[in-house]
């Protein structure tokens, strides 16, 4: 088992390349003996950890810089490195790979890196490198076996329409199928046509195989069915019509394959989930201060002396049932993205927040975590149908500070929820002033002797006389005492603000020209 929970049994690089097919991966150079692989991660030039038997994905590395990335991956002991580019543009990288004794693989320019990582991880879940045997859990081998039996290209998706595996036999396909493989899930135009035709709803309601015909004749006809275990939906199988129509025999073959597919998907999911759940529970205990770093570092596969950071993700869902469903999907999406970034990352959830612990951190890698978190938030609306915010802590010197890092994340998330930062994700340093102000406001809230009676008096005056002096006062202090800025925020004339502030001073006896008074007023208003 690799550090990120991928279970393998002699899986080779050639098996991975063959499983994903030439439309996705092409082996450009590799050692003559079979290259065994056990995991995958994204290229990080600062990550000097051992990468033996791993496939490194050279994300955002141009072909002209590929040879340098090859050298770094080779020094880390990686089994292979995947780059984007053609043979002509990667000649120097090929030479560098041969010198470093590392396999070089070219990925299709159209395939998304996160999609490729997920697919490679799915291939590595296989318990055998023999695709003809279709061992339980090897979804790619299953897809090929089903495609051969049914007579059409097969795709296996999870309940959220994410692609888990697909067949690579020489069978006709269409652009919708091609884009599904390269883009992780159904391309938007095809997905929209399916939505408009009510296909997804029909599939969810059906207890049998359904037929899908594109009325525009742009896409080939398909048959599809759900994969279920009891009442639980595990995913779906889609078959694209080839040279021959998908007749009743093909429908019967797909129907008969569902129980076997369910067994494959359940084992596939178990491979991914078992270790992840154990590490997630352990991380939750650490973050809630119920376990010490010295007691859990072995389970987390993290050196207790490793510099760490924590990221927290929160989705905007109020209903408890919907939160449970959306959170499960969000955890999968975040975990895949984070594991691809750093193989030892651990994810868990506490209440509405999903936390990810990143070891071996540096200032440069923290910037990459922040960028990744921002990207996840951007994709959340499209992928999950909900808004998401993300907060990132500073870097602590060791694992023992994990609880403090969680507290930092929670402070950042609180600022983001308030909307005062005007963004969906931020690091603590980016919103440190707002977090300090919130902490001071909390102190004022907890200590009645620190409250400012004049503000309560002004609120009562507003209520009794239908005035808006408190909002004007708030805008004034938030503008740093600048009447022009306050007027623009309130969308009124500056003279209106001047008049209101004069009345505020008369009612409350506050000195609004004093920076100290304005600071105390601001803290009082923040605490309400």
pLDDT, one tens digit per residue, over 431-474 is 998 898 888 888 877 888 888 888 888 889 888 888 889 999 98
355 DSSP 8-state letter: E
> Could you tell me the fold of the domain covering 298-440?
Alpha-Beta Plaits (3.30.70)
Residue 103 to residues 30, 38, 63, 229: CA-CA distances in angstroms?
Answer: 4, 14, 16, 40
In the three-class reduction of DSSP (H, G, I as helix; E, B as strand; rest coil), residue 238 is classed as strand
Write the pLDDT tens digit of every residue in 27-76: 998 876 788 888 888 887 776 677 888 899 988 888 888 999 999 998 88
**Between 422 and 271, the higher pLDDT residue:** 422
> For the purposes of burial, counting CB atoms within 10 Å of the CB of 320, is it exposed (0-12), middle (13-18) or buried (19 or more)?
exposed
CA distance 176 to 316: 32
Q: What is the mean pLDDT of residues 388-401?
A: 95
CA distance 103 to 52: 12
Question: Chain-wide mean pLDDT for the chain?
Answer: 83
Residue pair 233/204 in contact (Cβ under 8 Å)? The answer is yes
Q: 228: closest CA among 194, 196, 201, 262?
A: 262
Task: Spell out the domain ranges in the chain.
Answer: 13-111, 139-269, 298-440, 451-526
CB-side neighbour CA atoms (13 Å) of 76: 25
Q: Does domain 451-526 have CATH number 3.40.50.300?
A: no
CA distance 318 to 36: 47
In the three-class reduction of DSSP (H, G, I as helix; E, B as strand; rest coil), residue 184 is classed as coil
Find how far residue 505's CA is from the centre of its chain: 51
Residue pair 382/339 in contact (Cβ under 8 Å)? The answer is no
106-178-56 Cα angle (round to 5): 25
Percent of residues, the chain, with pLDDT higher than 70 = 89
pTM to 2 decimal places: 0.58
**Residue that the structure tokens 């939906």 belong to:** 233
CA distance 177 to 166: 10
Phi, psi at residue 30, to the nearest 5°?
-165, 155
Those residues with Cβ within 8 angstroms of residue 210's Cβ, 6 or more apart along the chain or in another chain: 199, 202, 203, 223, 224, 225
Residue 137: what pLDDT?
A: 52
Those residues with Cβ within 8 angstroms of residue 212's Cβ, 6 or more apart along the chain or in another chain: 194, 197, 199, 221, 222, 223, 224
CATH of region 139-269, choose from 3.30.450.40, 1.20.1630.10, 3.90.1170.50, 3.40.50.10140: 3.30.450.40
Least confident of 22-36, 383-397, 485-499: 22-36
Q: 505: closest CA among 458, 459, 463?
A: 458
Best mean pLDDT range from 17-21, 81-85, 322-326: 81-85
H-run or E-run covering 440 = helix 432-446
């Amino acid at each position: 088992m690799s550090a990120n929970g991928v279970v393998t049994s002699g899986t080779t690089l050639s098996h991975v390349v063959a499983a994903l097919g030439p439309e996705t991966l092409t082996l450009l150079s590799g050692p003559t003996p079979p290259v065994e692989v056990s995991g995958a991660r994204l290229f990080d030039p600062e990550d000097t950890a051992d990468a033996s038997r791993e496939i490194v994905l050279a994300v955002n590395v141009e072909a002209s810089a590929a040879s340098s990335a090859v050298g770094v991956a080779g020094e880390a002991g990686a089994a292979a490195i995947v780059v984007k580019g053609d043979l002509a543009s990667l000649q120097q990288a090929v030479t560098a790979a041969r010198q470093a004794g590392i396999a070089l693989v070219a990925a299709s320019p159209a395939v998304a890196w996160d999609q490729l990582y997920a697919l490679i991880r799915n291939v590595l879940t296989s318990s055998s490198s023999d695709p003809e045997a279709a061992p339980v859990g090897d979804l790619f081998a299953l897809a090929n076996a089903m495609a051969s039996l049914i007579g059409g290209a097969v795709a296996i998706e999870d309940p959220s329409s994410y692609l888990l595996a697909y067949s690579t036999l020489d069978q006709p396909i269409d652009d919708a199928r091609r884009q599904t493989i390269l883009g992780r899930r159904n391309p938007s135009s095809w997905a929209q046509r399916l939505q408009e035709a009510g296909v997804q709803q029909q599939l969810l309601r059906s207890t049998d195989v359904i037929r899908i015909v594109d009325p525009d004749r742009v896409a080939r006809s398909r048959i599809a069915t759900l994969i279920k275990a009891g009442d639980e939906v595990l995913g779906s199988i889609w078959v694209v019509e080839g040279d021959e129509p998908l007749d009743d025999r093909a429908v019967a073959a797909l129907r008969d394959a569902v129980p076997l597919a369910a067994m494959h998907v359940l084992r596939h999911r178990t491979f991914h989930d078992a270790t992840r759940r154990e590490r997630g529970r352990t991380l939750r205990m650490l973050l809630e201060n119920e376990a010490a770093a010295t007691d859990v570092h072995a389970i987390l596969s993290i050196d207790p002396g490793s510099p760490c950071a924590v990221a927290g993700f929160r989705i905007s869902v109020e209903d408890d049932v919907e939160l449970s469903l959306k959170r499960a999907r969000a955890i999968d999406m975040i975990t895949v993205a984070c594991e691809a970034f750093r193989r030892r990352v651990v994810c868990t959830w506490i209440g509405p927040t999903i936390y990810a612990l990143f070891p071996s951190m540096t200032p440069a890698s923290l910037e990459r975590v922040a960028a990744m978190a921002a990207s996840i938030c951007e994709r959340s609306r499209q992928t999950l149908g909900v808004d998401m915010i993300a907060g990132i802590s500073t870097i602590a010197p060791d694992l023992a500070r994990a609880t403090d890092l969680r507290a930092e994340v929670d402070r950042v998330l609180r600022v983001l929820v308030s909307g005062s930062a005007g963004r969906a994700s931020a690091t603590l340093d980016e919103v440190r002033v707002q977090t300090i102000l919130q902490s001071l406001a909390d102190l004022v809230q907890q200590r009645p002797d620190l409250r400012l009676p004049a503000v309560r008096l002004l609120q009562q005056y507003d209520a009794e006389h239908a005035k808006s002096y408190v909002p004007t006062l708030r805008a004034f202090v938030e503008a740093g005492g600048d009447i022009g800025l306050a007027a623009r925020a309130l969308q009124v004339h500056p003279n209106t603000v001047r008049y209101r502030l004069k009345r505020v001073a008369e009612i409350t006896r506050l000195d609004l020209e004093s920076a100290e008074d304005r600071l105390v007023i601001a803290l009082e208003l923040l605490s309400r």
